[in-house]
Amino acid sequence: MRYSALSLVRQGLAGQTGWPQAWRSPSPRSVYDAVIVGGGGHGLATAYYLAKNHPRRRIAVLEKGWLGGGNTGRNTTIVRSNYFFPESAAIYDFALRLYEGLSQDLDYNIMLSQRGILMMGHSEHDMELMTRSVNAMLLNGIDVELLDAAQVRAEVPLLNFEPGARYEIHGGFTQRRGGIARHDAVAWGYARAASALGVDIIQGCEVTGFDIVDGRVAGVRTGLGRIAAGSVGLCAAGHSGVLAGMAGFTLPIQSYALQAMVSEPVKPVLDTVVMSAATGMYVSQSDKGELVFGAGLDLYPSYAQRGNLPVERDVIAGMLEMFPAFRRLKLLRAWAGLVDVCWDYSPIIGPAPVGGMYLNCGWGTGGFKAIPAGGWMLAHLLATGRHHPISAPFDLGRFTSGRLIDEAAGAGIAH
């Protein structure tokens, strides 16, 4: 069914009894041309673009839990493409451009809100480095704009401009096309559109191993039995290393817990996304009115989807330093996602050391904003066996050649 004003009226008159299921839940077949492991945003986007851009293939997405139940449902929903290096700007802006047309493309409202994203500068040195970053981003074709302190104050009057503030505000820069989107809707929209194109989405199906013959993947062993596969795409974020272990290789990735939290809902007080490298934190206000915020990693390896109190305390302290008015809000929920962090804070997209197997991982703390691009690139690899020009610099081989894309500092945020 196509979602439209007309379908709303019709269903309203029919007592909302005629809505079909958004996606099918089939049993797995015994063989597919392409099997995608991981039913989060990246895996579902991969399935959608593979079915749409490279048709006539039998495609399955295997998800061990439920759709979007991992990092897709645990992030702070920020989208942006304000990156320092040309390779990064190319892939993240490709993603943002796809996000800009995604609601129409999927016929599913992902509630993209391009409310802008403001990065704070807290000293003259910050502003000098920020000017350099902004110039690099402008050369990359990204719509960023340097702001002085008065302009920042006009845009976000709630920020702490008191004379005794720990982090004095000297200015900042904004990307107006940045903003937030509804994270669950991105997963559900891709799932619905992929299912309509014939993709089998199989939830509750954990991969337990791979059948590898003569260095080439032949199939996937799962809790629901063996599935033969012509090619396999891995989109498992924090669990990428576990899948790599099953296939007999290692990755330059360490998995950490990244915390996020929301306050109780309040009336509209913040109409942009605010980030600060000094406090490491970022905050936006959801459509429901909750303040959604987070900051740095719990800096030790973790597969627990929860963080610890010292980091939570620092995140909250950072936000209250920037927004003293929020200090009496109650915390509603806190949680963590498992992020797969590479040494250069850039993703890995490309062939795995096993034939027929392809990687889309290492997005670390920034995977949500990249979902459409990650899916598009992995679909291209699964269909052709070759890199899309945009994904080529992110090949696993960069760790041997030394051509790292070091966004750890370049991106200008605390990852």
Binding positions for another protein, rule: CB under 8 A: 239, 241-242, 245, 250-255, 299-304, 308-310, 343, 399-402
Q: Report d(CA 304, CA 255) in Å as an integer.
A: 10
Q: Give 272 or 302: the residue with its C-beta nearer to another protein.
A: 302
Q: Which helix (H) or strand (E) holds 44?
A: helix 41-53
Which tokens in the block code for residue 81? 């493409």
User: In angstroms, what CA-CA distances link 192 with 3, 276, 277, 319, 345?
Assistant: 11, 36, 38, 37, 31
- Altogether, the residues listed in the chain come to a count of 415
Q: Give 5's Cβ-side CA count (13 Å radius).
A: 0
- Can you spell out the DSSP letters for 144-204? EEEEEHHHHHHH-TTS---TT-SS---EEEEETT-EE--HHHHHHHHHHHHHHTT-EEE-S
- For the bound state, the minimum distance from the C-beta of residue 342 to another protein, rounded and expressed in Å, comes to 8
- For the bound state, the minimum distance from the C-beta of residue 401 to another protein, rounded and expressed in Å, comes to 8
Which tokens in the block code for residue 384? 């052709």
Contacts of 149 (CB under 8 A, 6+ apart): 161, 169, 170, 171
Q: Report d(CA 75, CA 68) in Å as an integer.
A: 11
- For the bound state, the minimum distance from the C-beta of residue 394 to another protein, rounded and expressed in Å, comes to 14
- For the bound state, the minimum distance from the C-beta of residue 241 to another protein, rounded and expressed in Å, comes to 4
Q: Give 10 or 313: the residue with its C-beta nearer to another protein.
A: 313
Q: Give 252 or 265: the residue with its C-beta nearer to another protein.
A: 252
- For the bound state, the minimum distance from the C-beta of residue 51 to another protein, rounded and expressed in Å, comes to 31
- For the bound state, the minimum distance from the C-beta of residue 240 to another protein, rounded and expressed in Å, comes to 8
- For the bound state, the minimum distance from the C-beta of residue 191 to another protein, rounded and expressed in Å, comes to 26
Its sign, for the CA torsion 99, 105, 110, 116, is positive
Report phi then psi at 330, rounded to 5.
-90, 145
- For the bound state, the minimum distance from the C-beta of residue 232 to another protein, rounded and expressed in Å, comes to 20
User: In sequence order, what E strands does 268-327 have?
Assistant: 273-276, 281-285, 291-301
Q: Report d(CA 24, CA 202) in Å as an integer.
A: 9
Q: Give 182 or 415: the residue with its C-beta nearer to another protein.
A: 415
Q: Report d(CA 71, CA 336) in Å as an integer.
A: 8
Q: Give 59 or 359: the residue with its C-beta nearer to another protein.
A: 359
Residue type, 211: D
- For the bound state, the minimum distance from the C-beta of residue 207 to another protein, rounded and expressed in Å, comes to 14
- For the bound state, the minimum distance from the C-beta of residue 300 to another protein, rounded and expressed in Å, comes to 4
Q: Give 219 or 241: the residue with its C-beta nearer to another protein.
A: 241
Residue 16 CA to chain centroid, in angstroms?
A: 33
- For the bound state, the minimum distance from the C-beta of residue 310 to another protein, rounded and expressed in Å, comes to 5
Question: Tokens 């006539």, residue?
Answer: 56
193 neighbors 108 (Cβ within 8 angstroms): yes
Q: Give 164 or 300: the residue with its C-beta nearer to another protein.
A: 300
Q: Give 191 or 336: the residue with its C-beta nearer to another protein.
A: 336
Q: Give 89 or 311: the residue with its C-beta nearer to another protein.
A: 311
Q: Give 258 or 291: the residue with its C-beta nearer to another protein.
A: 258
Residue 384 CA to chain centroid, in angstroms?
A: 24
> Which one, of 174, 153, 83, 147, lies nearest residue 394 by Cα?
83
Q: Give 89 or 349: the residue with its C-beta nearer to another protein.
A: 349
